[in-house]
Structure 1
Amino acid sequence: MAHDNGSIVSLRGPIRPTRGPWEFKGDEREHVAPTHPALTPTLTPLHNPTENPSFIHHVPEFIPIPAEKIKTTRRPDHAMVDYQVRELTFHAAPQPALNLQVATAPQPQPEPPRSQAQRLPRLLPAVHDPLPERAVEPQDSKKRGLAPAEGLVVSPFTANEDRLIVSAYPRYARPENGQVNGYVKFNWPSRAPSRRPSGPVPVPSEDDVEDITPNVTRSHTASRPPTIMTLVNPGPAVSSAANGTVSPMDLEGGWGNTSSPMLMAGSPVSFQDTSQIFIAGDPKMLPPQFGFQAKMDHIDRRLFEFYIKNWCPGRSVLSNTNLWLKDLAPMHKNEGILHAIQSLAGVYIYDYIPDERIRQRINQRYITADQYFSTLLNAPESRENGKGQEVITMAVLLSMQDIVLTERRLKKPYNPRWLEGFRQGEYFLQATDPGARYWKNNNVQYNELRISQSIIVGRAVILAQPMMALPSPQTFNPEAEAGRFSWLLYGTEKDMFEIHGGCGFSKKLLHLMSQVTYCAGRLQQEPESTIVPITAKFLLRELSEMRQWSRESKDWELARKYPPTIDWVRDKADEVIIDSNQIMTEVTAEAWRIAAIIYYQCRLLRLPRNHPEVLANLDDLARCIRIMPTSGSHFTAQAPLLPVFFLGLLATEPVHKDVSMDWFEQVVQTPVRSSVPPLYDALLRIWGWIDKEVQIPRDPTALSKNIGKRYPWWEHLVAKVLEAEEETLCLT
């Protein structure tokens, strides 16, 4: 009998099932992924991620199981390591016992890449290349893998160690209100015993975090000791609200089924036990796999649901262009993409539930996803014109996992996996570019998936350039660089300036930022160039006159007629906080535009950071950042991380530094992993030496008219950052 005194209990044989969010049975039938409306390209999304997205929570009765407590055996009849729990010894706690009879469903292995008759380009060497003394953006096509080389293409994500290491404790503590409403959105209940509500559940407001998990009750059984409890689901507590809002009790897709008890085929429960279980709801009239698209067992389905319902809503406030949900999720019928999605979602879940079974599943899914990715890297069809969607999507998903799994990033002298993965995505976008068949960019035929892939890949590669050294003048190839990222320019003028949820601003602005880096490299190669100053004036005019628009805000015609958004921001008081997705979208895009102008002024024009024009733009940027929320339903990964970093990096006035610091401090308080904490730590270290290493001139306006003769202080700053930091800064 389990007691609260920490006694040791040894359980052998069948264990009565208790169904919490991550509890499952040994021979439970396979489930398949739900036909989510957002997973079918021709249908509308399941929900608007900006309006009370569905949230799952973790059942308070769950007891994490340390890795050393689980005894496992390997099934000899399967190629993969398939663990089955035979015996468990654990410290008793006043919680219901766990059902730990696991049977991982066999997963098909991808065929190893076969050698091709034609030698394929090498994107990465067989081993990780050490970084040179300075991390330099490979500018010429040969270094980016666009020139033929011998050997097979190698995945940068292949490793001989577990991707996710053992954790004995949760990574984050539960917030007081139980709401995690930042880059991931879900409800985290306390460990207090859950009870059925005695009255109607209040309708959640727009800013509330909605919990979709049905309440569970405990009931003792007659044929088993009273220490073994069975979790069952009650019937629906309340009905839908009059206004159409569904209360948490009525939502489907939680960890359990609200219309049936947590008892399924294969459970080690006798017929006598079933008489003690309360069964509610109508009998099922449809086959158990009706409406599903991909086969998944219990854990896999929960991982996928977490991605759809809790991770994707934290990516963008723009539902129409949330590429993670609208474009990438429907590709889950590809097993490699599905495993990459599940592995990415599992990294977040393990932070809150450090259970060994979850960790093993995440590592298994990561290995198989990387194997599929390696196969696609060397598949001839991945390089055919207009194709390559699968390999690009997998590069994006695996790179994103490396971005958020900050503790497993490669340090110097190795190149970061996330950057190499996105560079491979850039290579395949170029290799499969359909634009070569058209005379005009606005005639190129493309789909939404291609646009989303171009933006998310271009965003990662282009935004890494500001804090990387320019290529040496000897290796810089102006002809090749002039056409780099050209696949961002397809479409009409209206298409160019649409704000996309994948980056928070328009793809035209993204391309202009790459052109600033290109011109800076060209100026370094030829300081007396007469073309670069002319191009610089053109870039400034484009950045100054740019108007960005969104389908969920002002349309293109109105955006062109209205004054710039910064005029509206300047009129707002400092204590005002944005409370609508429309305004958040417009101000975020404006912050990116201002940050691009600052980057243009400092790196290309070589204006010192205390120059009056730079200070004026820093002041406008600070006004935009100050009124932005740092958590809640309007805060997502669309937030302007790089502009906030620029604001703190280039600050010469205390007010600018304070705004940047306040934003970082508030964002890192949310208990969710992201790329923000390591970037903030790097910024704190930079503040310790920047005023000594990058001195502020007394007369910032005393500059040569020839920009090629001005002091390139930005390059000196980047060189110092690369020398002082252990890894390449991730600004996405």
Structure 2
Amino acid sequence: MDADRRLAKALEAASDALQHLSMSPDLNCLDCTHIDRLLGRVVDLPTEGNQRNSRRNLLVIRQWMVTEGPGVVLLEVLGQLYWRLGELNSKQFEKFKATLQQHKSYLSLVQDTRTVNLVIQRIRHIQKSKADACQDFLCELSDTNGMKVDSPMAEMDSLPASSSSPTSPRSMHSMDSNSSQESGFVSLIKYVPSSTIWGGDMEQTLTDFYINGFCPGRTVATHSNTYLSYLQLANMCSSTRYALLSISASYICEYLPSQKDMYHQAELYYSTQALQALAAQISSGQHYEGAVATSMLLMHHAIINGEDSPLCWSCHANVFEIIPSESVDLHSDAALFMRAQLVLARTAQGSSQLQTTQFHSLEQNNWLDDVPQSDAQKVCAMLGLSPQLVSLISSVTSLAQDIASPNKLMCAQLLETQIQNLKQWTAETHTAEQEVLLTTAEAFRLAALIYLRCRIYGYTRFHPSILELSDSLNIVILSLPVKGSLYTALYPVWPLFIAAVTVNSDKRDRLYQRVVPIREGDKNTLPAVLKRISGTRIWLANQDATCQRRSGWWDEMLSPSSSTIALGRNLLCLG
């Protein structure tokens, strides 16, 4: 009843606004106070951690303006609609829009070119007002402190191409600052050393690139970067040093077309050396911590380069079968990284395939049992989700393959409750970085709920609960950066996969458009994932929209017969 009342109130507010607008035929005389206030927030979304709900609500408005036309924002003319819409969930909002689309006055509003022109005019007004306010304040500072203030355009010309985070190349160099340059890189690689040093010491060049170009693109966290911590380990463990240099050479190749062959040879050389050194240190029982770190780096290297390799990237998890279990930390970042890659990849395997799979010990042991709950719920800065959520996703997949279990439904409901109630957190204190970490973690949590309900309960993408969850996940994913300093390897590829196979074709295309900068950027796992999704487009389009529940449809979707492209032999990396 409350839900219906909230929807009715929102429709009432929209109706009042439409009536008000109909009585103001001359839009130039319209009082835009409330419209400007909302536009100002939609244009410049809040980033504070305590405004996450406001940000999501504003993103809904923003997306509504994009899909149905800028004129929809005029419904805020009386200052009543925005807060009413904030009370609606995604399903109610869709009903709200569908109801409005039946009214001629609403259709006239969104189709009227005058309303579009007015909104554009108001946005430009807001832009100018903010610029003028900044300039006035600069002049005020100049008057009181004797500062020289140049014109706004001169100031803009002198600004750097991109902002720098505390872990960016601006504050971290392995070489003299004169030998490196900021080039405004907005993809995973944040920096490339100056071309004047390419002919110098290769290991030094690769190390410089690893520190300043590769590592900052791994995470937004400002206090924790596992890849960076391996530099200290590399000083004591040769296999880690070689693996580090190999992965650096693999990425740097993309920026040096004229020297690509040379760095490719370096990549092969260092990866071979890493494997040989790894085998030697395991045989001699030395530096197991370094062996695990090396295996993680080699797995990373294999993931981004081994699409056509006869060996699956997962083979690097075999290190846990060789090293004595009492000699390895199963809670280390390296172990969690490798485990998470395996867990997420298993979600793209059918139940029959899972039943014949020989799992790694890393996936099977009860590694989370002795971890304090608070630590288990802390978002891993290298993955973007908590160890507990990794474990819960793994449990869902295990339950899916256990066809004969009499308690399957009860176990699924328990897992569902745990996922619903999961409160992930981060120790990150920087507001923007904290927001990205928590939003990424939320994307994984929503995706896990969808995965459970689809795979275990058999809910199809047409089921009301999946429609609602997918809409929420869609909004969260679209809010995450895809370029710039806050875009890193934390970008939630698995949630994107889950969202793409549980939304309609229009929303799927919107997701595809959103990730174009990632797809066309530095080496990453997304292209292979998008290719896999594209292969199922026809199968997805042929599903019965009236069927809300069908057991086994997830397995059918994963079947080679449901794909228009040949599926590779190796696991699909979704991390």
Query: With structure 2 as the length reference, what TM-score do the two structures score?
Result: 0.63
* Aligned pair partner of 1:455 in 336, 342, 356: 336
Distance 2:235 2:466 in 1: 46
Distance 1:344 1:473 in 2: 31
Partner amino acid for 1:420? C
Question: Could you list the per-position Cα deviations for residues 28-75 of structure 1 after superposition, in whole angstroms to 9, with x for gaps in the alignment?
Answer: xxxxxxxxxxxxxxxxxxx94268554799x9x9xxxxxxxxxxxxxx
Describe the shift of the 1:50–1:643 C-alpha distance in structure 2 as closer, same or farther (beyond 3 A): farther
Distance 1:424 1:376 in 2: 15
* Aligned pair partner of 1:323 in 218, 222, 226: 226
- Is the aligned partner of 1:659 residue 2:510? yes
- Shift in Å, 1:468: 1.3
Partner amino acid for 1:532? K
Describe the shift of the 1:667–1:717 C-alpha distance in structure 2 as closer, same or farther (beyond 3 A): same
The aligned counterpart of 1:409 is: 307
Question: Could you list the per-position Cα deviations for residues 111-144 of structure 1 after superposition, in whole angstroms to 9, with x for gaps in the alignment?
Answer: xxxxxxxxxxxxxxxxxxxxxxxxxxxxxxxxxx
The aligned counterpart of 2:544 is: 696
The aligned counterpart of 1:711 is: 551
Determine if contact 2:466/2:502 at 8 Å carries over to the other structure.
no
Q: Which runs of 5+ in 2 are unaligned?
A: 1-164
The aligned counterpart of 2:207 is: 304
Distance 1:537 1:322 in 2: 36
Partner SS for 1:588 = helix
Determine if contact 2:345/2:574 at 8 Å carries over to the other structure.
yes
Distance 1:483 1:370 in 2: 23
Describe the shift of the 1:184–1:473 C-alpha distance in structure 2 as closer, same or farther (beyond 3 A): closer
The aligned counterpart of 2:536 is: 686
- Shift in Å, 1:467: 0.8
Describe the shift of the 1:335–1:473 C-alpha distance in structure 2 as closer, same or farther (beyond 3 A): closer
Tell me: higher relative CO, structure 1 or 2? Use CA pairs within 8 A at least 6 residues apart.
1
Partner amino acid for 2:482? T
Distance 2:427 2:355 in 1: 45
- Shift in Å, 1:511: 0.5
The aligned counterpart of 1:372 is: 277
Question: Could you list the per-position Cα deviations for residues 4-42 of structure 1 after superposition, in whole angstroms to 9, with x for gaps in the alignment?
Answer: xxxxxxxxxxxxxxxxxxxxxxxxxxxxxxxxxxxxxxx
Distance 1:622 1:474 in 2: 32
The aligned counterpart of 2:567 is: 725
Distance 1:501 1:373 in 2: 26
Distance 2:355 2:447 in 1: 30
The aligned counterpart of 1:469 is: 350
Distance 1:514 1:433 in 2: 23
Distance 2:221 2:516 in 1: 25
Determine if contact 1:458/1:485 at 8 Å carries over to the other structure.
no
Question: Could you list the per-position Cα deviations for residues 427-460 of structure 1 after superposition, in whole angstroms to 9, with x for gaps in the alignment?
Answer: 357x42479xxxxxxxxxx6xx942122111111
The aligned counterpart of 2:325 is: 432
Partner amino acid for 2:217? G
* Aligned pair partner of 1:515 in 395, 400, 407: 395
The aligned counterpart of 2:285 is: 381
Determine if contact 1:303/1:345 at 8 Å carries over to the other structure.
yes
Partner amino acid for 2:190? K
Describe the shift of the 1:609–1:427 C-alpha distance in structure 2 as closer, same or farther (beyond 3 A): farther
The aligned counterpart of 2:167 is: 49
Determine if contact 1:332/1:338 at 8 Å carries over to the other structure.
yes
Describe the shift of the 1:490–1:434 C-alpha distance in structure 2 as closer, same or farther (beyond 3 A): farther
Describe the shift of the 1:598–1:52 C-alpha distance in structure 2 as closer, same or farther (beyond 3 A): farther
- Is the aligned partner of 1:346 residue 2:249? yes
Partner amino acid for 2:211? I
Distance 1:359 1:472 in 2: 35
Partner amino acid for 1:676? L
Distance 1:301 1:474 in 2: 47
* Aligned pair partner of 1:493 in 368, 373, 378: 373
Partner SS for 2:191 = strand
Distance 1:371 1:409 in 2: 23
Partner amino acid for 1:390? G
The aligned counterpart of 1:241 is: none
Determine if contact 2:169/2:190 at 8 Å carries over to the other structure.
no
* Aligned pair partner of 1:584 in 433, 436, 459: 436
Describe the shift of the 1:483–1:640 C-alpha distance in structure 2 as closer, same or farther (beyond 3 A): closer
Determine if contact 1:55/1:186 at 8 Å carries over to the other structure.
no
Partner amino acid for 1:731? L
Matched residue count: 402
Describe the shift of the 1:380–1:482 C-alpha distance in structure 2 as closer, same or farther (beyond 3 A): closer
The aligned counterpart of 2:90 is: none
* Aligned pair partner of 2:184 in 179, 183, 192: 179
The aligned counterpart of 2:407 is: 531
Q: Residues 244-283 of structure 1: matches in 2 within 5 Å?
A: 255=197
Partner SS for 1:409 = coil
Q: Residues 637-656 of structure 1: matches in 2 within 5 Å?
A: 637-652=489-504, 654-655=506-507
The aligned counterpart of 2:153 is: none
Determine if contact 2:250/2:263 at 8 Å carries over to the other structure.
no
Describe the shift of the 1:725–1:346 C-alpha distance in structure 2 as closer, same or farther (beyond 3 A): same
- Shift in Å, 1:607: 1.0
Distance 2:510 2:235 in 1: 41
- Shift in Å, 1:391: 2.2
The aligned counterpart of 1:540 is: 416
Partner SS for 1:487 = coil
Partner SS for 1:605 = coil
Question: Could you list the per-position Cα deviations for residues 511-561 of structure 1 after superposition, in whole angstroms to 9, with x for gaps in the alignment?
Answer: 000000011111x2x0xx33221111110111001111111149xxxxxxx
Determine if contact 1:340/1:365 at 8 Å carries over to the other structure.
yes
- Shift in Å, 1:310: 1.1
Partner SS for 1:587 = helix
Determine if contact 1:300/1:342 at 8 Å carries over to the other structure.
yes
Determine if contact 1:598/1:618 at 8 Å carries over to the other structure.
yes
Partner SS for 1:180 = coil
* Aligned pair partner of 1:610 in 462, 475, 486: 462
Determine if contact 1:482/1:518 at 8 Å carries over to the other structure.
no
Partner amino acid for 1:678? A
Determine if contact 2:209/2:248 at 8 Å carries over to the other structure.
yes
- Shift in Å, 1:483: 8.1
Determine if contact 1:50/1:581 at 8 Å carries over to the other structure.
no
Q: Residues 160-309 of structure 1: matches in 2 within 5 Å?
A: 178-186=183-191, 255=197, 298-309=201-212
Distance 2:352 2:210 in 1: 38
- Shift in Å, 1:690: 3.0
Distance 1:184 1:673 in 2: 9
- In the TM superposition, structure 1's runs of 4+ consecutive aligned residues that sit over 6 Å from their partners are 480-483
Partner amino acid for 1:330? L
Query: With structure 1 as the length reference, what TM-score do the two structures score?
Result: 0.50
Question: Could you list the per-position Cα deviations for residues 588-628 of structure 1 after superposition, in whole angstroms to 9, with x for gaps in the alignment?
Answer: 11001001111111111111121111111101101101111
Distance 2:556 2:492 in 1: 25
Determine if contact 2:339/2:362 at 8 Å carries over to the other structure.
no
- Shift in Å, 1:476: 8.1
Q: Which runs of 5+ in 1 are unaligned?
A: 1-46, 62-176, 188-211, 217-254, 257-261, 263-296, 436-445, 555-578, 704-709
Describe the shift of the 1:312–1:713 C-alpha distance in structure 2 as closer, same or farther (beyond 3 A): same
* Aligned pair partner of 1:361 in 254, 262, 266: 266
Which has a greater percent of helix?
Answer: 2
The aligned counterpart of 2:482 is: 630
Distance 1:433 1:498 in 2: 25
- Tell me the percent identity: 21
Distance 1:518 1:312 in 2: 34
